[in-house]
Amino acid sequence: MTISKMTTKGQVTVPKSIRDKLHLNAGDQIDFIFNDSGELVLAPVYKQHDSIIGIIKTNKKATIDDMNRAL
């Protein structure tokens, strides 16, 4: 069992062992969900593909055929 203490500002540190297991980094988002039993579940929010489109810059032009092959 891993325990963390809440600060007066309501902040909680996610222990390193859990951050490592979930591959969490600074700035990542965590979803707080209550399951059907009323237990709180924390789940990492992974970026959707459409939110990362265009972050890698390239000078190479892609043709329609290139794009179709990539699918």
Output the tens digit of pLDDT for each of the chain's 71 residues: 889 999 999 999 999 999 999 889 998 999 999 999 999 998 888 766 656 666 666 777 777 888 888 87
Look at residue 18 and tell me if it is in a domain: yes
Look at residue 71 and tell me if it is in a domain: no
Look at residue 7 and tell me if it is in a domain: yes
CATH number, domain with residue 34: 2.10.260.10
Contact 53, 42 (CB under 8 A): no
pLDDT of residue 51: 61
**Domain that residue 8 falls in:** 1-55
Give CA–CA dist 34/53, Å, rounded.
31
Look at residue 51 and tell me if it is in a domain: yes
Helix (H, G, I), strand (E, B) or coil at 31: strand
Tally the domains of the chain: 1
pLDDT of residue 33: 93
Look at residue 48 and tell me if it is in a domain: yes
Q: What is the pTM of this model?
A: 0.56
pLDDT of residue 46: 78
